[in-house]
Amino acid sequence: MLKLLGYNEKEISRSKYEVDGIPPLGEAIPLGLQHIFAMFASNIAVGIIVAGVAGISGSDLTIMIQCAMFIAGIATLNQCYPLWRCGGKLPIVMGTSFGFLPTNIAIASGYGISGLLGATLVGGIFGAVLGFFLKPLRKFFPTIVTGTVVLTIGLSLLPTGITSMAGGSGSPTFGSPKNWIVGIIVLFVVLALNQFTKGFTKTSSILLGIIVGYIICIPLGMVNFDAVKEASWFALPKPFHFPIEFKWGAIAPMLIMFIVTTVETVGDVSAITMGGAGREATDRELSGSIINNGLSSVFAAIFNGLPTTSFSQNVGMIAFTKIMSRFVVAIGAIFLLLAGLIPKLGALVSTIPSSVIGGACLVIFSQITLTGIGMLTSKPLTDRDKVIIGLSLAFGIGLTQVQGAMDNFPQFLKLIFGGSGIVIACVIAIILNIAIPQKEDEVEESA
């Protein structure tokens, strides 16, 4: 089995801190599960939101959720163990992207789920092509750009962590003391285990924090098992359950979003190698990861799913735990596949309250922010760097905080920039990096 995965059995490392390390299953399973628990709710939430806009419910919604888990498992497994040039050979967790959500909602409103799936398929092909040409394009993504994107990702996720701790957006108990107490208990358990223990309890601190929070929530009446009772035991994903239509008005904004998510993936992969291994990502790792982004989205469209990309919360987890083993993440991917084939299993994980996830993820999101800061301050910042970072954050974070600021913009611009500070910061950073010339002494230092 290990030979099939490309391992030389005589040279196998058991270290979970190495990319090719294979820790014992007793360690790998819980470590893989904590990666999945951190992203599970977000992975299915996007589909639920878009389904509401497109008027999808009942068994059709169940199929969308099932496919989201199945596709995430396949894409994650391929990132860990590439096929040809598809996959980064890194511990990258894939899932349905929140970054596409505003664009998905707008397309679903105007063209329905069929138009959205058609745009996802074409956009995925385009995204994969970008991966093949990454090497000549990489000059547009220096550390000043990728570091700014990673920092913006972290800052953008912090409100999400707070929202989850308060009970989750739209929850009837949002902001209740009960939610806050549970979230804070989980946060303190994670920190205490990570800072004051060693071995398994330290590296599995996030998983153990989630388990403690879940146990507390059951007697408090915060866990509803109805979805588990109603879910079936086994179901195969159904390709082309929804017909696919190709509409240029839907495809155009999706193509632009795949350019943006390419830069976001460059930032995520750079953050993984920098935060977990203290090095820059290679061209091969970046190219394979982006190709996987595109082709997994094509696969998603065929199986009734939405665009997929690397999950930033798992990037933060690697920076927090320093565990780089792709074998560990592959174990988590297998769990995702099982959740896609055994709906009861997926339904059980989905019962974890938002406050529990929020308490664990707030630590992770803070680590993403710090990883971005670390990338940007790896060398002294020049005046040019400060302008690029400052204006990118000013527009990326500031503009999305002001409601109505873009109401009079053309619709296609609102589709692209209206809901994502990451997109805005990314575009601003790329433009300023090209437009503002480096001084001779800065060029020499950079070289």
What value does the mean pLDDT take over residues 414-438? 78
Q: What percent of the chain has pLDDT over 70?
A: 90
Quick check: 133 and 85 in contact, CB under 8 A?
no
CA end-to-end span of the chain, whole Å? 44
| pLDDT of 225 over the 70 cut | yes
Q: Which residues pair with 336 in a beta bridge?
A: none
% of the chain with per-residue pLDDT over 90? 20
> Would you state the pLDDT for residue 11?
55
pTM recorded for the entire structure? 0.74
Burial of 34 (0-12, 13-18, 19+ CB in 10 A): buried
Indicate the range of 66-75, 128-137, 349-358 predicted with least confidence.
Answer: 349-358
Contacts 24+ apart (CB under 8 A), 21-26: 21/324, 21/325, 21/327, 22/325, 22/327, 23/325, 23/327, 23/328, 25/331
Q: Which of 19-28, 86-95, 350-359 has the lowest mean pLDDT?
A: 350-359
What pLDDT is attached to residue 175? 85
Residue 353 pLDDT greater than 90, yes or no: no
Q: Which sign, positive or negative, has the C-alpha torsion 5, 203, 159, 70?
A: positive
pLDDT in tens, 162-214: 887 888 777 788 888 888 998 899 899 988 988 888 777 777 787 788 888 88
Cα separation, 169 vs 48, whole angstroms: 13
Nearest to 318, CA basis, from 156, 131, 143, 80 = 80
State the CB neighbour count (10 A cutoff) for residue 189. 21
Model confidence band, residue 13 (pLDDT cutoffs 50, 70, 90): confident
